[in-house]
């Protein structure tokens, strides 16, 4: 199986590169944000024709059961900063690009494998759920409340996953996202959790992604 993996930042690349032989996983950095992520996904698909693509990295978490260093695995993915209005098509919902699904489903087979990881990755907690994506680093409680107002069930908020999911959907490539929770915006005031994550506890945070790939 040819596996492609996309991360946004050098910090994530440095954590993940030692975990995977280069002949086993095509690991590439996209840069931050939806456009960079989508471009990288398309380039990866065209150049390498992977059997699956995985988005990995960190994200802000949401929910009373979510804590820093937990992992959210995408069941679905959506945009939290897209609104196409109702002037042309009143069936289009908030977060949906007209003509595309309101939410992109993770590949069922990949998700089934991901759901089975909870026991093998203890004591790290794995939470299947909705990941929402937008071009906004969430560094305030007000912004997080606005996002969760539209997507109350969201488990994680990032800046790339839904864009990669869209590229994979259009090209019929199985996709799933693994996001390590680096901070909980509704419990923080100045993004200090995020900075503390990288300064003190990021090492070994991507063990779940490694275990998942070894299970494929």
For 54, the 3-state DSSP assignment is strand
- Which residue's entry shows tokens 């897209």? 82
Residues 12, 70, 158, 160: which is the catalytic one?
12
Assess contact for 133 and 160: CB atoms under 8 A.
yes
| Tokens (6 digits) for 150 | 């539209």
Active site residue 196: no
Dihedral angle sign, alpha carbons of residues 69, 70, 75, 80? negative
Residue with tokens 């794995």: 126
* Residue 79 CA from chain centroid, whole number: 11
Strand partners, 104: 77
Q: Annotated catalytic residue: which of 10, 183, 203, 214?
A: 183
Assess whether the previous peptide bond of 123 is cis (omega < 30° from 0): yes
Q: Is 160 a catalytic residue?
A: no
Positive/negative CA dihedral, 205, 11, 13, 75 = positive
Cite the active site residues.
12, 183
């Amino acid at each position: 199986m040819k596996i492609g993996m996309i991360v946004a930042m050098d910090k994530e690349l440095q954590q993940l590169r030692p975990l995977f032989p280069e002949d086993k996983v095509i690991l590439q950095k996209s840069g931050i944000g939806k456009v960079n992520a989508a471009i990288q996904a398309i380039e990866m698909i065209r150049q390498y024709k992977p059997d699956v693509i995985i988005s990995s990295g960190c994200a802000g978490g949401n929910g009373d059961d979510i804590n820093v260093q937990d992992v959210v695995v995408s069941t679905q993915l959506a945009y939290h900063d897209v609104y196409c209005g109702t002037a042309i098509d009143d069936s289009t919902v908030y977060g949906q690009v007209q003509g595309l699904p309101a939410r992109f489903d993770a590949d069922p087979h990949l998700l089934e494998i991901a759901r089975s990881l909870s026991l093998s990755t203890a004591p790290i907690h794995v939470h299947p759920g909705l990941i929402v994506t937008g071009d906004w680093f969430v560094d305030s409680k007000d912004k997080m409340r606005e996002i969760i107002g539209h997507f109350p069930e969201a488990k994680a908020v990032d800046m790339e996953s839904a864009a990669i999911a869209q590229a994979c959907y259009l090209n019929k490539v199985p996709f799933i996202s693994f996001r390590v929770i680096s901070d909980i915006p509704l419990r923080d005031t100045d993004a200090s959790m995020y900075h503390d994550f990288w300064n003190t506890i990021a090492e070994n945070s991507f063990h779940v992604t490694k275990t998942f790939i070894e299970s494929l």
